[in-house]
Structure 1
Amino acid sequence: MLRCWKCSDDHLEEARCSGDSDASSQFHFPHKAFWVSLPASLLLVIIALGLTGHLGPLEPPSQSSQIVRITAPDLDGLLINQSVVVDRQNDLVTYSLMSPENKTSTVLFDIKHGLICYKPVDQDSCFLEQMGQSDYDNVHALLQEQQQSHFHLCGNETQRQTEFRGVLAATQVELSTHVQDLCRDRPVHWTKRAEGPGKQRLVYFCIDICFPSNVCVSVCFYYLPE
């Protein structure tokens, strides 16, 4: 026989309890309520931590940008030093080309939008063109490279080619955000691939770009007739 006590408003009253009595049920109820409410409480805690950032991002963090250096001898045997920033998250490859006067020109490959933007150091404009298949092929090695941070191209193994771009008259240019960031306060001109300027046209400047695929391209610009 189990003897227990229950409390009334005025005095303690003795009650006779059995295994299936109401008092026994009341004794086990708090434990049942605890286990029922525990998952809900944990869920609320997880949501709160997620909102405050303590659990970190729900998706894995993207890889940071990688800096790659490319060195190659020019036609005179002097080394060309180029640094490349590879941003895989935004599909961007940005070349920084150092001149002998320690001035830097920039070439941006905006792969997502299929654009190449040239920002020469000695010009007050930017020059834009659509990427061709050869451009995609040349930057593919940089996007796929995960570990190597320095490419040294040998002169006797490097293919060299010259390409010409004709600068078009002023046109309405719709720019991507990355091109806008690169060419702040500069007018942007469309260009198109051309066979060459001919004797009557003057080549204004050239930019040399070397790729890990042992290809160096000299891109030269001239203005088309208005």
Structure 2
Amino acid sequence: MVRCWKRSENCLEEVQCTDGGPDATPRSHFSHKAFWFSLSALLLVIVALGLAGHLGLSQLHSQSLQIVRITASDQHGALINQSAVVDQQNDLVTLVVTSSTNQTSTVLFDVRHGLICYKPVDQDSCFLRTMEQPDYDNVNSLLRGSTHKQSQFQLSGNETERQMEFLGVLEASQVNASSLGEPLQTLCKNRSVHWTRRADGPGKQRLVYFCIDICFPSNICVSVCFYYLPE
């Protein structure tokens, strides 16, 4: 709004006038209201889409996780109880093995990176080795098999194939835990991590420190035994 002056016979009278006519002020007020309304609506749409995407991803990830329970007997007839957490989305299988002495160990198969990580309950270390073709075949019975139709497996002793593996611990070649992926870092938090390699056996001069028995739905059980290699 600007000031206008109107000449009369004796003086100048001050009157009000506008540049855009009588509709300029209401139109400007309406434009501001429309702008803020549109902006608010846009923000609400963005927030709603963000929440929907987050919930959708969370639901998808939770659906990709499945717990499979495996029960088998060891070589002495004692029961081995396992629960396998299968994450098909990230190609991960986590076996939680409870022995007959009620000790629990964890074995993580990271298929995407080709690694197996062993976390025994009575050790302050984790142990790594690279996956081989039999490992992929065994884990695929959980990842690619019809586990969605069956969540519990009872392996009979006379039909189960048993294998023995010896892994030598390379104590001098400790792994930098920060170089590992997030699942392995979480599993081995506050523990040292060591590479292992397959060996024929520890020999008479070396002692086996511990063994972990793991079973798969394909009726294969593997006893993995660890010993420390000489420096």
TM range (shorter): 0.7 to 0.9
Residue deviations 1:160-206 (CA, integer Å, cap 9, x gap) = 01001010132252322111100111100000011111111111111
Q: Check the 8 A contact 1:50/1:56 in 2, yes or no.
A: no
1:141-178 Cα deviation digits (max 9, x unpaired): 11122221001111111000100101013225232211
Match of 2:4 in 1: none
Q: Distance in 2 between matches of 1:49 and 1:195?
A: 63
- 1:153 — aligned with what? 155
**Match for residue 48 of structure 2?**
52
Cross-structure match for 1:179: 184
TM-score by length of 1: 0.74
SS of aligned partner of 2:138? helix
CA distance in 1, matches of 2:198, 2:93: 21
Q: For residues 1-226 of structure 1, what are the structure 2 equivalents within 5 Å?
A: 49=45, 51-53=47-49, 56-57=52-53, 61-62=60-61, 63-144=63-144, 145-173=147-175, 174-226=179-231
**Structure 1 Cα separation of the partners of residues 220 and 207 of structure 2:** 26
- Describe the shift of the 1:223–1:54 C-alpha distance in structure 2 as closer, same or farther (beyond 3 A): closer
Alpha-carbon distance, 1:88 to partner: 1.1
Structure (1/2) with the larger helix percentage: 2
- List per-residue Cα deviations over 1:33-78 (Å, max 9, x = no partner): xxxxxxxx9xx97995354237823977343310000011112222
Identity %: 65
The 1:158/1:53 distance shift into structure 2, 3 A limit, reads same
Distance in 2 (CA, whole Å) between partners of 1:79 and 1:114 is 29
